[in-house]
């Protein structure tokens, strides 16, 4: 990848995504689940750029959405309605209504209260809501506590016994059709055992529902497959699929997974320009033009991203790579081995495709970065760099309205 050329053409900070890598990741999953009917959904929250969605839709991916905004994005990108799932612990009435009217595949329900709400809205709309219930298997995904979701103490889903009661309730409701079972235990998972354990819980429930003549068609194992940021040993898609399928003997369900990070994480690079070097005593800082508003993972989770200087020899000394934001938490890397750098030199922050741009903000009134796709050796802009006008548009109208009123 010619980072210097890209920086010259599109400026920095710049997100760059390798679309061929995304295809490879998608096909590796599809292949791993080959023995069964499967639906590989992409969890939009990882990176919801429309061009990425369109790329994945063309490969045959479905989408896991957690807001109306995400559903609208998926539809706009051409994802088939029957491949869209609506997840999330708190869905507003208008969001439920939208999903039902759009007739997407199913809503993943997270509580009894939500189920009743969906039933009521379906009744008002004179329709039947296809649903799935998110089971909280009380399994430790052994990941960062902020992104662990399958423990009783987490806010997600309901325990298997409660889920069973809810399925029975659905069976007796003319407005609810239970078609799926859902479970998602966390993100950046590197250990296969929690997947086996969680799937065992949901597969047991699946069988007990079958005995009650509740016919579940979709077995959604969630997402969470970890990726290599540094030297992590990751789970192979084949082993992931085997851990799931081993629990499904004798059943006839379509296996669904909803992966985000695995599909796009290592496709992405954040390119940033060095502004200055500075030393506070013995401490070396490299101040760059990207900041925590562009990539918040280091600040939020203490996450590691490999950072490399472009067109420089290796070696050097340790430095913290920091952004211009007025917070000590504004760093992209700590104790990074870097050569002597000058104004205008480039650094690339790797593994930035997931939870990078999608978690970015305008904090400090900074404009969000541009995004570029590389596919088959060719590059194209997939999101323009924001301009100051984008930043103030919605406020400006109010300001002008208030000025009118005061006149
Ligand atoms: C319900 C659900 N599904 C899927 C995902 C995707 O996780 P990952 O990007 O780790 O695959 C998440 C992430 O938080 C989620 O909450």
Average pLDDT, the chain: 94
Question: What span, in angstroms and rounded, lies between the C-alpha atoms of 56 and 354?
Answer: 14
In the prediction, which pLDDT does 399 show? 86
When computed from its CA atoms, the radius of gyration of the chain, rounded to whole angstroms, is: 23
In the prediction, which pLDDT does 277 show? 96
Question: What span, in angstroms and rounded, lies between the C-alpha atoms of 15 and 357?
Answer: 8
Ligand 1 atom 12 nearest Cα: 223
pLDDT at residue 106 greater than cutoff 80: yes
For the CA of 88, the closest atom of ligand 1 is: 1
For residues 206 and 216, the answer to whether their CB atoms sit within 8 Å is yes
Question: What span, in angstroms and rounded, lies between the C-alpha atoms of 61 and 53?
Answer: 9
Region 152-174 average pLDDT: 90
Query: Strand, helix or coil at 204?
Result: helix
Nearest to 373 by CA among 28, 54, 35: 54
pLDDT at residue 346 greater than cutoff 80: yes
In the prediction, which pLDDT does 139 show? 82
Region 243-268 average pLDDT: 96
| Structure token pair of residue 95 | 């969001």
Confidence category of residue 191, pLDDT binned at 50, 70, 90: very high
**Residues 20-71: tens digit of each pLDDT:** 999 999 999 999 999 889 999 999 999 999 999 999 999 999 999 999 999 9
In the prediction, which pLDDT does 148 show? 64
In the prediction, which pLDDT does 153 show? 66
pLDDT at residue 170 greater than cutoff 90: yes
170 belongs to the catalytic site: no
Region 236-257 average pLDDT: 95
Measured from CB, residues less than 6 Å from any atom of ligand 1 are 43, 45-46, 64, 87, 184, 187, 222-225, 258-262, 354
Please choose from 188, 260, 355 the residue to mutate so as to test ligand 1's pocket, defined by most ligand atoms within 8 A of CB: 260
Confidence category of residue 102, pLDDT binned at 50, 70, 90: very high
Region 115-137 average pLDDT: 97
Question: What span, in angstroms and rounded, lies between the C-alpha atoms of 38 and 83?
Answer: 11
Alpha carbon 386 to chain centroid distance? Answer: 22
Question: What span, in angstroms and rounded, lies between the C-alpha atoms of 125 and 98?
Answer: 11
pLDDT at residue 211 greater than cutoff 80: yes
- The full DSSP string for 392-405 is HHHHHHHHHHHHHH
Confidence category of residue 113, pLDDT binned at 50, 70, 90: very high
How many A from CA of 356 to the centre of ligand 1? 14
Query: Strand, helix or coil at 131?
Result: strand
Q: Identify each DSSP E strand in 187-294 by its residue range.
A: 218-220, 254-259, 268-280, 283-288
How many A from CA of 85 to the centre of ligand 1? 12
For residues 173 and 115, the answer to whether their CB atoms sit within 8 Å is no
**Structural domains of the chain in order of their starting residue, each with its CATH number:** 3-13+266-381 (2.40.37.10), 80-259 (3.20.20.10)
pLDDT, greater one: 396 or 352: 352
pLDDT at residue 122 greater than cutoff 90: yes
Q: Identify each DSSP E strand in 156-296 by its residue range.
A: 176-182, 218-220, 254-259, 268-280, 283-288
In the prediction, which pLDDT does 150 show? 63
In the prediction, which pLDDT does 330 show? 97
- Looking up tokens 């070696």 gives 315
Ligand 1 atom 9 nearest Cα: 260
**Residues 285-298: tens digit of each pLDDT:** 999 999 999 999 99
**Residues 306-342: tens digit of each pLDDT:** 999 998 887 899 999 999 999 989 999 999 999 999 9
Q: Identify each DSSP E strand in 30-175 by its residue range.
A: 38-43, 62-65, 84-86, 106-109, 129-134
Strands 38-43 and 62-65: parallel
For residues 320 and 341, the answer to whether their CB atoms sit within 8 Å is no
In the prediction, which pLDDT does 400 show? 81
**Residues 354-390: tens digit of each pLDDT:** 999 999 999 999 999 999 999 999 999 999 999 999 9
């Amino acid at each position: 990848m010619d980072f210097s050329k890209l920086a010259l053409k599109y400026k920095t900070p710049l997100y760059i995504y390798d679309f061929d890598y995304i295809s490879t990741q998608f096909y590796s999953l599809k292949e791993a689940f080959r023995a069964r009917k499967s639906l590989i959904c992409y969890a939009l929250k990882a990176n919801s750029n429309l061009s990425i969605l369109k790329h994945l839709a063309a490969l045959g991916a479905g989408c896991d959405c957690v807001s109306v905004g995400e559903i609208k994005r998926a539809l706009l990108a051409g994802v088939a309605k029957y491949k869209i799932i609506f997840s999330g612990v708190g869905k507003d009435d208008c969001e439920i209504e939208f999903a039902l009217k759009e007739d997407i595949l199913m809503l993943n329900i997270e509580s009894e209260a939500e189920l009743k709400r969906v039933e009521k809205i379906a009744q008002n709309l004179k329709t039947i809501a296809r649903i799935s219930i998110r089971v909280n298997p009380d399994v430790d995904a052994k990941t960062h506590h902020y992104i662990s979701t399958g423990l009783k103490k987490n806010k997600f889903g309901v325990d298997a016994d409660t889920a069973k009661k809810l399925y029975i309730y659905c069976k007796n409701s003319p407005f609810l059709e239970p078609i799926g079972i859902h479970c998602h235990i966390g993100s950046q998972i590197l250990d296969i055992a929690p997947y086996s354990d969680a799937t065992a819980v949901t597969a047991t429930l699946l069988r007990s529902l079958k005995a009650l003549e509740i016919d579940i068609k979709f077995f959604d194992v969630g997402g969470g497959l970890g990726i290599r940021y540094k030297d992590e040993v990751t789970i192979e898609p084949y082993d992931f699929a085997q851990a799931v399928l081993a629990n499904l003997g004798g059943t006839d369900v379509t296996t669904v997974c909803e992966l985000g990070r695995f599909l796009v994480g290592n496709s992405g690079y954040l390119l940033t320009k060095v502004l200055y070097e500075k030393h506070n005593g013995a401490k070396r800082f490299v101040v760059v033009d990207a900041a925590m508003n562009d990539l918040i993972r280091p600040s939020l989770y203490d996450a590691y991203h490999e950072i490399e200087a472009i067109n420089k020899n290796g070696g050097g000394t340790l430095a913290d790579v920091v952004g211009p934001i007025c917070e000590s938490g504004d760093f992209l890397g700590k104790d990074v081995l870097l050569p002597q750098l000058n104004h205008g030199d480039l650094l690339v922050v790797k593994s930035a495709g997931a939870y990078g741009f999608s978690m970015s903000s305008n904090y400090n009134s900074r404009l969000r970065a541009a995004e570029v796709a590389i596919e088959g050796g060719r590059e194209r802009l997939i999101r323009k760099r924001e301009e100051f006008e984008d930043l103030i548009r919605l406020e400006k109208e109010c300001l002008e309205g208030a000025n009118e009123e005061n006149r």
